[in-house]
Structure 1
Amino acid sequence: MPSPRKTESLVPAAPRSTELAIAEPTLYLPKVEPGRLFGILLRRGWLVILGMALAVGAMAYYVKKAPKIYVSTGSVEVSSHAPRVLNIDGLSPEDSKDLEQLRTIERNMASSALLMRVAKSHDLFTAKDFAPPGTSEQGVVALLASRTRVELDRGTRVVVISVEDTDPERAKSIVESLVSEYDLWIKDRREDLARRAVEGLAKEEEKLRQSMDAANARLQEFRETHPVPGLEGREGSGPVTDQLGALNTQLTQAKSERLRLEAEYESFKKFDPEDPDSLGGIATTARSEEVLSLSRSLQAKELEFAKIKERYLFKHPVFKEADREVTSLKEDLIGAVRSAGKALERSYHVALENEAKLQGEVEGARTVAIGVEGVRSNFDALKREADAARELHATVDLRLRETALTSAVAASAITWAEPPFVPEKATKPAKKILFPLAAFVGMMGGFTLLVGSELRDGRVRDSASAARATGAPLLASLPPLEAGREGDMVLLSDPASPTAEAFRRLRAILLPPQAKPDARTILFASAVPGEGRSLCAMNYAASLAMQGQRTLLLDGDMRRPGLSREHVKAEFGGLGDYLSGKSDPAKACFPTALPNLYLMSSGPMRDDAAELLSGTRFPALLEDAYRWFDAVVIDSPPVLAVSDALAISRYADRVCLVVRQNASERKNLRKAAEMIRATGGNLMGFVWNELPVRSKGHSAPEPVVPFSHPALAGPAAEAKTGEGSASPESSSPVIS
């Protein structure tokens, strides 16, 4: 037997960390578990089936009551070049060369004005099977618009028209009417525009006719008032104009001659015999021919004299002869220039006088011609005015006749590509779409109810949920027991059952490690009553006893009947009497039918259990028990019901939480685990109890621990105790 613990261990130890290591940090985080989802479907799958059934049933009722809708479809082709008779803006047929114009035709075929014409042509305003009685014209047109679809086929010049109606014959007729009424509508628009244009053109034509007549009258009156010869001829054909033109021509010639003579005379005046370049300004005429000949002879002689200067002196006869010839030629040139200049001067004065005379005659002729030209310009202005009035009247009169013809010309740009047919089958309601859609909507609604009910139901239904709620691992799972055996010690009654094997597995897990051999106190707790806490404590203690460990099963529930209270007489006392100092604990400790297993009763019910368990006598009791027992298993009240379990958990080496399927709620488990850790309890994990929850009227029997009478004696039993005892009677422990 291990030696007794020291007295300082009576002081509550510091909180201990959980000894079972968690291999994966995210083990207890929420996750998708196929098993749990399958369990949810098994429990609440009827909601999904019910939702689908209701949705499909409602859809079947709707399909049965809903009117059948037939769709008639046709298409028209838009021509790129419509017949074009007139070239008047607003009166010419629709141009459909670009996409914008095609879209315009598409929009016009679905316009409210055209739909109004179609509705009137089919008496839709009074048709009871088309619209409810009392529907306004705007409502009928809106209903027809919702049932009509006009769409330009992309990449083509084809407009597809489809109409939905309860009457297949009327659906086909409405498609045909949309095309025919569109042609009539366009024609009416052209006729209206043509009528207004004719009225305006007729008024304008009358005004232009009056203006034309007035212009012709003024022109004729001018002719009679001014009988000028050649008045209506072309410009310049009159005698006065011809004479003035001839004089202007003569004056121009005289002025040119005078300017020529003046230039030549100025050249002769500037002539320098010593400067041969001055001859360049003299024109080649009969007068200047002699001067130019003498100038060329002089230049040649001067060249020859220059050569003689180089060979002979100035006194040489050859030099003198050449000098005389040069001097003679210069004198002859000067004389010739003077004679020619005088002749030119006389000719210049004659030309100047001739120019002056012609200028006077031109001025006189111009005076006469101005009067004649004024008459001609007035006549030309009146004639142009009359011609313009005549041409404008002719243009307007032609346009008036053309516009009058527009109402008789059909210039539609659309032709049938695919005429509509009478539909044979109804397209709405679409059963192939509505029933799967209803089933899907019902399924989603059922899933919504399933998820909502599952979220509202906080009960723990699987061990994974319990692990996430408590933050502790699963230690063992207890399979369901047969009815009526929920309170048995299964290790004795059915040692080969899965439940007995589960307790053996729990025993192996909770055995103290070699590093801490003194961790011998196991506390079984639960969040709420009825989770199987006492059953687990009893069977776990039995598993330790069957392994050969001397085990004390301590009933710590002093609030309600538990493992021993109904089977122990009041005179034997119990845990409550010992903690209050009224009894010896040896009177409440009994050997059981299982060797090495002893039961300590909780005693009568007490209201001050929490205060007693929080005192110093309870840890002293545990220290004294460690001298005689290898393990102490404690059954405590529920954690959330009273605080007794929290007072005990700080002194237990290990705490094991018992969770029952469908009995505990996640929030309660989470709260219980947090409270145990907060008080310093070492929460090792939890036991998953799969025993079904029974109703209050069919509650399961409470666990019962078989024991022997009488209770153990104090000093007498202590004297008989020896470590080599072979039976419980000869080796019974004594708690003093």
Structure 2
Amino acid sequence: MPSPRKPESLVPSSPRSSELAIAEPTLYLPKVEVGRLFGVLLRRGWLVVLGMALAIGAMWYYVKGAPKIYVSTGSVEVSSHAPRVLNIDGLSPEDSKDLEQLRTIERNMGSSALLMRVAKANGLFTAPDFAPPGTSEQGVVAMLAQRTRVELDRGTRVVMLSVEDTDPQRAKRIVESLVSEYDLWIKDRREDLARRAGEGLAKEEEKLRDSMEQAETRLQEFRESHPVPGLEGREGSGPVTDQLGALNSQLTQAKSERLRLEAEYESFKKFDPEDPDSLGGIATTARSEEVLALSRSLQVKELEFSKIKERYLFKHPVFKEAEREVTSLKEDLVEAVRSAGQALEKSYHVALENESKLHGEVDGARTVAIGVEGVRSKFDGLKREADAARELHATVDRRLRETTLASAVAASAIAWAEPPFVPEKASKPAKKILFPLAAFAGMMGGLTLLVGVELKDGRVRDSASAARATGAPLLASLPELQAGREGDMVLLSDPASPTAEAFRRLRAVLLPPPAKPGARTVLFASAVPGEGRSLCAMNYAASLAMQGQRTLLLDGDMRRPGLSREHVRGEFGGLGDYLDGATDPAKACFQTALPNLYLLSSGPMRNDAAELLSGTRFPALLEDAYRWFDAVVIDSPPVLAVSDALAMSRYADRVCLVVRQNASERKNLRKAAELIRSSGGNLVGFVWNELSVRSKGQPAPEPVVPYSHPALSGSGETTGAGSASGESVSPTIT
């Protein structure tokens, strides 16, 4: 047997950090666990299927009882050039050139007034299959508006019409009535407007006719009282006015001639020989044509001379010849301009004298005609008044006649683009849409219910959830045992099984590090009963014993039957009796059938276990046990049931929490881990127990520790197996 280690202080201290725990035990876990989601779907997928089945069934019931709705469609084209026979404001056809007018037509075809006419035309107010009996006219129109759709097709001049109805024939008739009643409605509006306009025009025409007759009467009386020759003629039609008009015409012509000659003469006076283009604006006459011809010749010759300058020197004969020609042309042009100017001056003086004479003759003729001017002015005023009254009366009379024809002119600018047809198949209820939609809604409802049930069910179903709940890493995972083998010491009954290998893996994980060889006490705890705590403690202790370590398995559950309750007679005492000072622990310590494994019984059940564990005898017991055993494994009561496990965990080197699949709840695990850490326990991790939970009627068998007694005696005799080396050992625990 190894030499006893130096006992360490068993006084509770501040919580110790776990040697096995990493900085973040859940850091390695994925954020989204596909396997867990798949497991949830496998467990509760029936909720989704049930939701889809119920939704599809409800939709089938609805579709079976829902009335069949038929949709009849058609379209009308709005013309941009409607007939415009009359030009009366408010009575002319609709203008549909811009988008606002198209929207107006669209709105009018869906208005309540038009729908009222359509309902009356199709007898919808008395149709029991369209509206329930007793429905008001407003209600029928509202129902028709819900079933009617009028929409302008974007980017076109086409208005789409559609009507839903249970009767396919009536749906087609309603679409046709929308167009026909719209035409009649527009026509009625125009007839009403024409009637009101005609009444006003008739009254106005009568007043204007009286005014016209009075004006003509005054004009005739003035004509009879002033018999002036040429009174009704225009200016120049009478003897005097004719002469005055002729003189005025001659004066105007003379004045125009004088102005023309004056302008031409001024142009010649401003002529610059160096700038022949200055005569470009004069009128075309014989004199000006001669001057202009010389000017063009001079320009041509100057152009030629400029080319000669570039080629010859000024003393060259060609240069001199060209220079003489240019000089000669300039002299000829100046002489022609001078001669033309003198001739124009003479003609200008003659025209000025002629104009002066005509002015005198016109003044004399005007003096003669001024006597009859006053009579003519008054006559013209009366005539204008009579003409204005006649024209105004004619205009109003024409409008009045047009108004009477307004009802016969087509005012609508719409025409059928696609006439409606009788629908052959019902469009509602749309089974191809409703059933997939119901299935989707049922699936979403089932998923919602699934999530709610899963959130409400706090049971831990995988090791990742247990790691998140406890904040501790996974130490080992125990596969499911065969039925009836839940209480076996697996390392003995089936050493080649995956479960036995899992306990060996747990032994390797919990092996004390070289830095702390004395860390030999391992306490197995659980949040609630039935999670496999005793099974793990027994098999872990067996794995240490099989490795050659003298191991003490301490049954610390003094509240209920545990590892040693039904296999050790009460006369040998137990942990409770030792803590109470009533017995020696050697009487309660038995050697098991496995060499190097010893069992310390819990003894009779006690209610004062918490008080006994809070005393000093339990740490003293552990300190004495360290002298004779290489490892101590403690099987503790549930953490949340009683406080015994918390009182023992502070004296253990390591605390290992056992979590059973589908038995533990997240909140219980979180609370148990927090209590262990708060009490000073060193929670190093948890063991995931995949053993399935049995029903209450079929409880799993309790773990059994094979033993022989007595293993230890106060006299130091040894009746059990020896140490791993075969020596006879007689430990005495006092």
Alpha-carbon offset, residue 495 of structure 1: 2.0
Aligned twin of 1:90: 90
Offset at residue 5 of structure 1 (A): 4.8
Query: Which letter does structure 2 place at the counterpart of 1:142?
Result: A
1:696-735 C-alpha deviation (Å, 9 max, x unpaired): 33222222222222252124349999978626xx324221
Task: Give the whole-Å Cα distance in 1 for the aligned partners of 2:111 and 2:672.
Answer: 73
Q: CA deviation at 1:21?
A: 4.8
Query: What SS is found at the alignment partner of 1:655?
Result: strand
1:8-60 per-position Cα deviation (integer Å, ceiling 9, x unaligned): 61322442212225387753667321211111111111111111111111111
Deviations 1:135-173 (A, max 9, x none): 211121121121112222233222222211111111111
> Pairwise mapping of residues 190-589 of structure 1 onto structure 2 (< 5 A)?
190-234=190-234, 373-589=373-589
CA contact (8 A) 1:4 1:624 kept: no
Task: Confirm or deny: 8 A CA contact 1:575 1:588 kept in the other structure.
Answer: yes
Secondary structure of 2:642's counterpart equals: coil
Query: Does structure 1 conserve the Cα–Cα contact (< 8 Å) formed by 2:208 and 2:389?
Result: yes
Shift of residue 469, structure 1, vs aligned partner: 0.7
Q: Is the 8 A contact 1:28 1:467 kept in 2?
A: no
Aligned to 1:734: 732
User: Any conservation in 1 of the 2:26–2:471 contact (CA below 8 Å)?
Assistant: no
1:195 maps to a residue whose letter is R
Equivalent position of 1:268 in the other structure: none
State the partner residue of 1:633: 633
Deviation at 1:227? 4.6
CA distance in 2: counterparts of 1:28 and 1:528, whole angstroms: 27
Q: 2:102 touches 2:157 (CA, 8 Å); kept in 1?
A: yes
Return the alpha-carbon distance in structure 2 between the equivalents of residues 698 and 720 of structure 1.
36
Distance 1:24 1:635 in 2: 28
- Relative to structure 1, the CA distance from residue 14 to residue 181 in structure 2 (aligned partners, 3 Å threshold; closer, same or farther) is same
Alignment correspondent of 2:340: none
Instruction: Work out whether residues 572 and 711 of structure 1, in 8 Å CA contact, stay in contact via their aligned partners in 2.
Output: no
Moved more, 93-102 or 216-225: 216-225
2:417 partner SS: strand
Moved more, 568-577 or 503-512: 568-577
Q: Which residue of 2 aligns with 1:323?
A: none
Provide the alpha-carbon RMSD of the alignment. Answer: 3.1
How far apart are the structure 2 equivalents of 1:5 and 1:504? 25
Alpha-carbon offset, residue 632 of structure 1: 0.4
Corresponding letter in the other structure for 1:443? M
SS at match of 1:90: coil
Counterpart of 2:144 in structure 1: which amino acid? L
Q: Please tell me whether the aligned partners of residues 175 and 420 of structure 1 are also in contact (alpha carbons under 8 angstroms).
A: yes
Decide whether aligned partners of structure 1 residues 519 and 435 sit closer, same or farther in structure 2, where only a CA change above 3 A counts.
same
Cα 1:86–1:719, aligned 2, differ >3 Å: closer, same or farther? closer
Distance of aligned partners of 1:115 and 1:663 in 2 relative to their CA distance in 1, 3 Å threshold: same
Q: 1:379 Cα shift?
A: 2.8
Give the match for residue 694 of structure 1: 694
Corresponding position of 2:662: 662
Alignment CA distance shift 1:24-1:174 (3 Å):
same
How many Å separate the matches in 2 of 1:247 and 1:634? 150
> Residue 410 of structure 2 aligns to which amino acid in structure 1?
A
Alpha-carbon distance, 1:226 to partner: 4.3
The aligned counterpart of 1:67 is 67
Between the aligned partners of 2:464 and 2:724, the Cα distance in structure 1 is: 47
Can you list the C-alpha shifts for 1:521-573, whole angstroms capped at 9, x where unaligned?
11000011111111111111111111211100001111212111333333322
Q: Provide closer, same or farther for how the CA distance between residues 599 and 246 of structure 1 changes in structure 2, counting only shifts above 3 A.
A: closer
Structure 1 unaligned blocks of 5 or more: 249-357
Query: Cα offset for 1:406?
Result: 1.5
Provide the residue aligned with 2:257 in structure 1: none
Structure with higher Rg: it is 1
Q: Compute the TM-score of the two structures, normalised by the length of structure 1.
A: 0.79
Distance 1:692 1:718, change over 3 A: closer
* Greater alpha carbon shift after TM alignment, 665-674 vs 237-246: 237-246
Query: Who is 1:32 aligned against?
Result: 32
Instruction: Specify the SS of the correspondent of 2:125.
Output: coil
Check conservation: 1:721, 1:732, Cα contact below 8 A: no
SS across alignment from 1:696:
coil
Measure the CA separation in 2 of the matches of 1:626 and 1:388: 139
State the Cα distance separating 1:387 from its structure 2 match: 1.1
Structure 1 pair 119–391 and aligned structure 2 pair: CA distance change class (3 A): same
Superposed CA deviations along residues 216-248 of structure 1, whole A, max 9, x for unmatched, are: 222223334445555434458789999999999
* Whole-angstrom distance in 2 between the partners of 1:606 and 1:619: 19
Cross-structure match for 1:676: 676
Partner of residue 289, structure 2: none
In the alignment, structure 2 segments of 5+ residues that lack a partner are 249-359
Cα shift readout 1:283-333 (whole Å, capped 9, x = no counterpart)? xxxxxxxxxxxxxxxxxxxxxxxxxxxxxxxxxxxxxxxxxxxxxxxxxxx
Q: Is the 8 A contact 1:725 1:731 kept in 2?
A: no
Match for residue 602 of structure 1? 602
Give the match for residue 56 of structure 2.
56
Does residue 186 in structure 1 map to residue 186 in structure 2?
yes
Aligned to 1:328: none
- 2: CA distance between counterparts of 1:721 and 1:201? 137
Cα separation, partners in 2 of 1:219 and 1:16, compared to 1, 3 Å: same
Q: 1:101 to 1:184 in 2, by over 3 A?
A: same
The DSSP-based 3-state class of the residue aligned with 1:735 is coil
Moved more, 212-221 or 4-13: 4-13
| Aligned residue in 1 for 2:9 | 9
Q: Deviations over 1:344-403 (max 9, x none)?
A: xxxxxxxxxxxxxx9xxx99x98x988854444333222211111110001111111112
Is the partner of 1:377 in helix, strand or coil? helix
1:149–1:447: structure 2 CA closer, same or farther, 3 Å change rule? same
In structure 2, distance between residues paired with 1:13 and 1:158: 90
Equivalent pair of 1:625/1:735 in contact (CA under 8 Å):
yes
Residues 1:724 and 1:197: Cα distance change in structure 2 (over 3 Å): closer
**8 Å contact 1:79–1:413 — kept in the other structure?**
yes
CA contact (8 A) 1:18 1:682 kept: yes
Alpha-carbon distance in structure 1 between the residues aligned to 2:96 and 2:244: 65
Aligned residues: 625
Partner in structure 1 of residue 146 of structure 2? 146
Contact 1:28–1:468, Cα closer than 8 Å, also in 2: no
Look up the equivalent residue of 1:689 and give its one-letter code: N
Closer, same or farther in 2 for the Cα pair 1:671/1:127, shift >3 Å?
same
Aligned to 2:336: none
